[in-house]
């Protein structure tokens, strides 16, 4: 049996700027048996244009894109508390940076893992910065060509940075028929590396099939309630479903067993009874 699937509960921005909600999600992920929680970090005036930030958007925090995005963006006091709380609970945390300043910000926490979001896979300056840290990095491959993935893989290998790819479809929520899970094996063969799965579907079945196909890591968005405000909530698992998913993933792992065909110890008495030998 291979190594255990690394299970990541992506909180992302589903905390809605509320530290109490973030802590409930972290605790829920820990209780469900996840290995890590993940957030997202952006420097708004770098990632977005002034025109977009000034454009209208109705939200609980105001009527502009800036008001909404500022409300969802945690700063140092919040990440200090996330770091303390996760260490207290004994669960890893990390975040996907969407710009260089955000990656510099995250570096201060001496995290064990890094994450490249699908949207950032072609941001070569960011990839080089992350790869120079030489921390194990999960690289999502949604909306990317094989050529773009190959260029990213080259950067991590040039720096000697451990990484694994994550097969991903970047629609929210994703239709099950768009999962294309056979790509997991395509990526594994093409790049000779571990390949995980980052899912945005609404249920659990597709993720379990990804595990059965040998995904080395699984990432799913989580939420307290799909009815909460937010663009990612519909593609997220509520905590009760997260518990079921992790239980099912561990069952899939156990059921895969060994590729060696042999008579198991549990079969020996039956063999003697039915075959007499």
State pLDDT tens for residues 114-135. 999 999 999 999 999 999 999 9
> Percent of the chain at pLDDT above 70?
99
- Class of 6-275 in CATH: alpha beta
Q: What is the mean pLDDT of residues 156-176?
A: 97
Strands 217-223 and 195-199: parallel
Q: How far is CA 165 from the centre of its chain?
A: 11
pLDDT at residue 1 tops 50: no
pLDDT at residue 2 tops 60: no
Strands, E assignment, 43-122: 56-59, 62-64, 92-97, 113-116
pTM: 0.95
Q: What pLDDT, on a 0 to 100 scale, did the predictor assign at position 3?
A: 75
């Amino acid at each position: 049996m291979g190594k255990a699937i690394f299970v990541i509960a992506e909180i992302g921005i589903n905390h809605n700027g509320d530290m109490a909600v973030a802590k409930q999600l972290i605790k829920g992920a820990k209780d469900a048996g996840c290995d890590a929680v993940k957030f997202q970090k952006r420097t708004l005036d770098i990632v977005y244009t002034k025109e977009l930030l000034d454009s209208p958007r109705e939200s609980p925090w105001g009527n502009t894109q800036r008001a909404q995005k500022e409300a969802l963006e945690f700063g140092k006091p919040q990440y200090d508390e996330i770091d303390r709380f996760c260490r207290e609970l004994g669960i890893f945390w990390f975040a996907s940076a969407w710009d260089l300043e955000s990656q510099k910000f995250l570096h201060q926490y001496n995290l064990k893992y890094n994450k490249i979001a699908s949207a950032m896979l072609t941001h070569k300056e960011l990839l080089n910065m992350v790869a120079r840290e030489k921390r194990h990095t999960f690289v999502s491959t949604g909306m990317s060509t094989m050529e773009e993935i190959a260029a990213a893989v080259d950067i991590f290998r040039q720096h000697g940075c451990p990484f694994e790819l994550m097969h991903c479809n970047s629609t929210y929520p994703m239709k099950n028929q768009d999962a294309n899970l056979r790509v997991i094996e395509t990526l594994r063969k093409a790049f000779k590396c571990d390949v995980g799965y980052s899912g945005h579907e609404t249920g659990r079945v597709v993720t379990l099939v990804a595990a059965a196909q040998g995904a080395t890591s699984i990432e799913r968005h989580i939420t307290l309630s799909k009815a909460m405000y937010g663009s990612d909530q519909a593609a997220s698992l509520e905590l009760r479903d997260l518990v079921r998913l992790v239980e099912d993933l561990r069952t899939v792992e156990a059921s895969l067993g060994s590729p060696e065909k042999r008579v198991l110890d549990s079969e020996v008495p039956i063999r003697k009874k039915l075959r007499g030998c």
